[in-house]
Structure 1
């Protein structure tokens, strides 16, 4: 037989207090008795007879008294011991036990004893036993149906309560898990920002120091001013999760202007596709700078010749996605810098965290060029849904 496992414990907030269980059961059985007595009273009047309604009602209450005690006791017992209905086998064993013990007591109290007391003659144990074994089989069947229905109703209610408790516990667990996931993601994102800012500052200061070492003091002073502007943007960006493409591209132009003070005519830059529809889109602050820095690190830092960086921006047909492609040349004979640096790995992780799988990043490396292609939604996820 297949078994359905239920929770072995139920939160106290789900379980009803003892007095409430007794009160609700009492109201239910009094209601059943009242309705049943009203039906019998109506039938008697319709056939021309008469019996006091109060007497019929009291008789009905007495007939259902044992069912009240059985349902109340069973409910309280299962409330304290939910493991007793943990499987189908447990339920069957409990039912058989109650049929062998409480069901005969119910029949004895509700039908046999009243009939025996109303029977003329001596009221002895022998006469009571005779009444018990010769009782109408249909009466036994009706009482068995009442008993089974009561048992089934109590079991169903307790299983429902246990299911509610399990759902409440599951929802609480899922909520706690999601809150923990959110806290961890926020912590990871903050860690990325904390890594990104020192990395950017370190490389920018290297550019200024290179100018100082070449005794280009006036150019170095211009570089320091530009660095001040860049740091101002970086500090503002560190306090927010989103910015505009316009701000990001303005920052990139200033950053490249600073780098051109260092590299001079060796560095050629072109930015295409910065149309209004893209400039008004949302962008992660400092998204492009690590990629530009990566291009410089693995190209111009590796040789003395010229090189070019191309930044290409484009929209898909429905303008829901922006593609960013950053290309830089590679000198095949130049000595390579080790590793890929922090820029690429950090950018990929930021995209995963902030766009929740709706962004992509691909790296293409050829014999003479290197490119990074990023595709992101035109607007950050929370605004993109509102615009549909």
Structure 2
């Protein structure tokens, strides 16, 4: 199933409109950054003054420098607010360059007179001297302001691009997870009708053979199977023990149809399988495939020895299943569907951590399932997710 296209950068950032919190973050971040820069300058200037024999404290230098950074604070905050309100500029690099080419000179035209006025006010100079003070303003100060404002713009753009990348990655991961969940649901939905269809065929075979009493028992067994299948299909995880009981019930139903021709040897070793998680309706399709492969494709009167071994190997469940492989047998339509879909489900759920290996000889067909063991309670908690916060 193809993944839906990821949203563009503008769409990603536009999904977070400008809010009071965003305004507070932009203004507060600008205030904090430039206050720290000003503090560093104040410390450096105070040390230089003290080396020159003047008694000047850091607070005095901070009080002198901090007001002159107000234009920079406003410029930095304005950039952050514009990028939040108009994220579409990030999609057009030429527009970003144009904004920078116009924004920085415009800022200098506004900020330079403001800084001159601030310093005149600090020194107690009359407003009438403003033209003279502005004309005597050192060009190096303008260049410093140009560099610092350009750096502020570059930093804000870098932060915005980084946020865009993070959001896109999160959306990509969420989209992939949604696609996997949908794919898993479809796979599980395909297995359930397949199981029901084959089981009803088994009961129909009993009815055609005039074994109505046995057919009634089979219908009762089918009721139990469907009750579990319905409950399990609504869950993401069940226990391994539940799945093994479901397999036993399914085999018991097939024995009603095949009688002594079905020879079933099951050995379950290891711990309490009720505490370990397993995808619902995972094991039965494998056993169903073995029954149909070993008996339905065999010649009339032949019997089939099927064996199942379940054991742990460290933190891995190992299931070994073996059934006869009749020579020159023609498989009925639908054989192998459960095996193929089970492989696909394992890939969706576990990736390379789970696998099915098969080996076919002239007489036997053998299957080995390796499944990582995960705690059932933890798996169910992960599906449920954290409780929503209550404000």
The structure that has the greater radius of gyration is 1
Moved more, 271-280 or 161-170: 271-280
Cα distance in structure 1, aligned partners of 2:310 and 2:249 = 18
- The Cα shift of 1:290 comes to 0.7
CA deviations on 1:144-166 (whole Å, 9 max, x unpaired) are 1x333322222222222222222
5+ residue gaps in structure 2?
A: 1-8, 56-61, 120-131, 382-391
CA deviations on 1:2-35 (whole Å, 9 max, x unpaired) are xxxxx99998569869x969x969x97xx79x96
Look up the match of 2:343: 348
5+ residue gaps in structure 1?
A: 1-6, 49-56, 112-127
1:310 corresponds, among 307, 310, 333, to 307
| Contact 2:104/2:149 (8 A) holds in 1 | no
Look up the match of 1:276: 271
Cα distance in structure 2, aligned partners of 1:378 and 1:297 = 28
Query: What count of residue pairs does the alignment treat as equivalent?
Result: 336
- Per the alignment, in what secondary structure is the counterpart of residue 334 of structure 1? coil
Q: 1:197 to 1:156 in 2, by over 3 A?
A: same
Structure 1 position 331 matched with structure 2 position 320? no
Within 5 A, what are the aligned runs for 1:1-388? 143-144=139-140, 146-278=141-273, 280-302=275-297, 303-304=299-300, 305-316=302-313, 319-338=314-333, 340-379=335-374, 383=378
- Per the alignment, in what secondary structure is the counterpart of residue 275 of structure 1? coil
| Contact 1:270/1:309 (8 A) holds in 2 | yes
- The Cα shift of 1:220 comes to 1.2
- The Cα shift of 1:256 comes to 0.6
Cα distance in structure 1, aligned partners of 2:303 and 2:194 = 25
Look up the match of 2:5: none
Cα distance in structure 2, aligned partners of 1:77 and 1:283 = 52
| Contact 1:204/1:227 (8 A) holds in 2 | yes
Cα distance in structure 2, aligned partners of 1:47 and 1:257 = 99
Cα distance in structure 2, aligned partners of 1:90 and 1:176 = 30
Q: 1:352 to 1:382 in 2, by over 3 A?
A: farther
- The Cα shift of 1:96 comes to 11
| Contact 2:206/2:212 (8 A) holds in 1 | yes
Q: Return the TM-score normalized by structure 2.
A: 0.66
Moved more, 232-241 or 89-98: 89-98
- The Cα shift of 1:103 comes to 12
| Contact 1:71/1:154 (8 A) holds in 2 | no
Moved more, 307-316 or 374-383: 374-383
